[in-house]
Structure 1
Amino acid sequence: MSKVILITGTSTGFGKLMAITLANAGHNVIAGMRGVTAKNAEAAKELGALPNIEVAELDITSDNSVNEAISKTLTKYGKIDVLVNNAAVSGFGLLEAYSLDQIRNMFEVNFYGVLRTYNAVLPSMRANKNGLIINITSGASGHTLPFMIPYLASKFGVESITEGLQDELSQFGIENVSIQPGVYPTEMNNGSKSGIHADKPAIIDEYGDTATQQFNALGSALFSKMAEFKMDPQTIADGVLALVNMPKGERPLRYPLDAVAQGTDQEFIDARATIKAKWLAKYSN
């Protein structure tokens, strides 16, 4: 059965592949992106020429833009069955070398952008007592790594949203799932898409060669594993399609898609769920 699916951040990477994959499967896709007549005009034209895809101007850092895109979709289709929060920005650097404004910029996209889309879409989903919201987080969102602390903190925040709202929205039949990707060769990771990085060079200098060597070693490890396991971004698009096609009530809260992890991501998810259940039991007695 064809569904109405709105995806954020479709100009490149995972989002673009999701839009194409879901449209090819027969779903009506609203492909949200910024600058459809400016910086992303070419991507908008490419996607808009495909069957079952409608491109929408959508800047997740703007309340007005998010509300307008979702309002127009609801006016045309009467509902939104699935929302995919994909739009995000990465960033690297020492935590101390990040200004607070730079961290706020990171959260404005990765965290508050997700809250904006939720707030805009939930009234209609609650009225219909149906909906699926898929949030793209990170394979490391349950913990953290050096030189990626603001980025992973923002993604862990989205994990918290997903998990908490699963209970709050259950009475309305709205399901929430986080997809936890590992490292994939997308524009976010290959340097072609600008990120929000540490912006205090004087602090970076004070950390010296030790921090530089640690950062380079981490980057080399991540990229070598990406090549070793032939990480294909299409895996994430296929994962979204699989979640959309799953029967209601059978979707997992967390859906890891990281071959490099070799099952340890699912092990971590299961262990965390088990410990949480024990914690809740202690507070319930």
Structure 2
Amino acid sequence: MAQKITLITGCSSGIGLNLAVKLGKDAAKKYLVYSTMRNLGKKGPLQEAADSALNDTILIRPLDVKSDDSVKNAVSEIINEHGRIDIVVNNAGIASFNPIEYSPMHDIRDVLETNFFGPVRVIRAVLPYMKEQRSGHVINVTSVAGVAGYPFYETYCASKHAMEGLTESLAIRMKSFDVKLSSILPGPVDTNINDNIVEWNRLPAKGEVDQVTQKQLEILRIHARDHFDNMAQTSDEICDVICNVIETDAPNKPIRFKTGEFVDSRVSKKLVDFGGNTWVEFARKLIEEPMDLTKSEK
């Protein structure tokens, strides 16, 4: 059986790195993984984890999802070398935490450029080939924030909601070409995306925002720490879900895949009420007095 030619974005750390290694080290060598990242200066951890699979089934290449030319060059190399592309995992992304009315427009644009327009560039580059070959699988790593809004994560939620809409809309049309679309919805994940969070370390100082917003920010910081301390999944757990999505071939395969109980509980609360009040009232607890949400929702 021919290897599945696979492209993964955002492989310098976290989910992307672990997924590249997991697929690239498959015992049967079913996958040839183009593991890409914006800055090749950060390839050291992937090189070390790849070990003997490096330059065999794991190839490291540059790809900046915010650059048309970078995306085009990466996809062209794969097509020129193999004539096809079988799997794409849009994983590269950045987080954002700040009240939108105090966020500089360039920060808002940067989040959307990375989290939405970046995957759009990749999808636009690969779809013509997948349509021609009448096969392919595009997997978008979105978030529970793609179906449920969270206070102060407005820009991040907007980018992930956009990806959910894109995935669902494309899935309808691509069935005619036997091209599959999937979205993976993690909740909190223990990766360094939270160290790189946009605005996290430059939130408005006291006195620069209204008192209500300032209090809400302080409370939400406590809840955010609790979420990551008590509910965060590992990147390996997320990768297991992605691998299962890749390897399971069912006629009525879902479009969306939740990664754990945390996501399931949040999605259930959101979808039970189309009008949205049930979710809004639940999510408001995040910016009210600190409490143990894992107990209060039971």
Superposition TM-score tier, normalisation by shorter sequence: 0.7 to 0.9
Name the amino acid aligned to 1:211. Answer: T
The range that moved more, 6-15 or 241-250, is 241-250
Closer/same/farther in 2, CA of residues 54 and 103 from structure 1, 3 Å limit? same
CA offsets, 1:231-275, max 9 Å, x none?
Answer: 222111111110110115343111011332454426756987xxx
Alignment partner, residue 211 of structure 1: 213
CA offsets, 1:37-94, max 9 Å, x none?
Answer: x3x1424533564411001110000000001001101112221111000000111111
- Cα RMSD of the aligned pairs, angstroms, is 2.4
Closer/same/farther in 2, CA of residues 111 and 262 from structure 1, 3 Å limit? closer
Name the amino acid aligned to 2:246. Answer: V
Q: Is the 8 A contact 2:144 2:266 kept in 1?
A: no
Name the amino acid aligned to 1:28. Answer: L
Identity %: 29
Name the amino acid aligned to 1:142. Answer: V
Alignment partner, residue 4 of structure 2: 3
Any residues of structure 2 matched to 1:121-132 within 5 Å, and which?
121-132=126-137
- Equivalent-residue separation in structure 1 for 2:39 and 2:234 (angstroms): 27
Alignment partner, residue 277 of structure 1: none
Task: For residue 209 of structure 2, give the secondary structure of its aligned residue in structure 1.
Answer: helix
Alignment partner, residue 198 of structure 2: 195
Closer/same/farther in 2, CA of residues 167 and 148 from structure 1, 3 Å limit? same
Any residues of structure 2 matched to 1:82-231 within 5 Å, and which?
82-189=87-194, 191=195, 193-195=196-198, 201=204, 205-229=207-231, 231=233
Alignment partner, residue 18 of structure 2: 17
- Equivalent-residue separation in structure 1 for 2:62 and 2:139 (angstroms): 20
Cα offset, 1:222, TM superposition: 3.5
Q: How many residues align?
A: 267
Closer/same/farther in 2, CA of residues 200 and 101 from structure 1, 3 Å limit? farther
Name the amino acid aligned to 2:25. Answer: N
Q: Is the 8 A contact 1:99 1:200 kept in 2?
A: no
CA offsets, 1:124-181, max 9 Å, x none?
Answer: 1001111111101111211311111011101110111101001121111111111010
Closer/same/farther in 2, CA of residues 255 and 184 from structure 1, 3 Å limit? same
Q: Is the 8 A contact 1:236 1:257 kept in 2?
A: yes
Name the amino acid aligned to 1:86. Answer: N
The range that moved more, 12-21 or 224-233, is 224-233
Q: Which runs of 5+ in 2 are unaligned?
A: 275-298
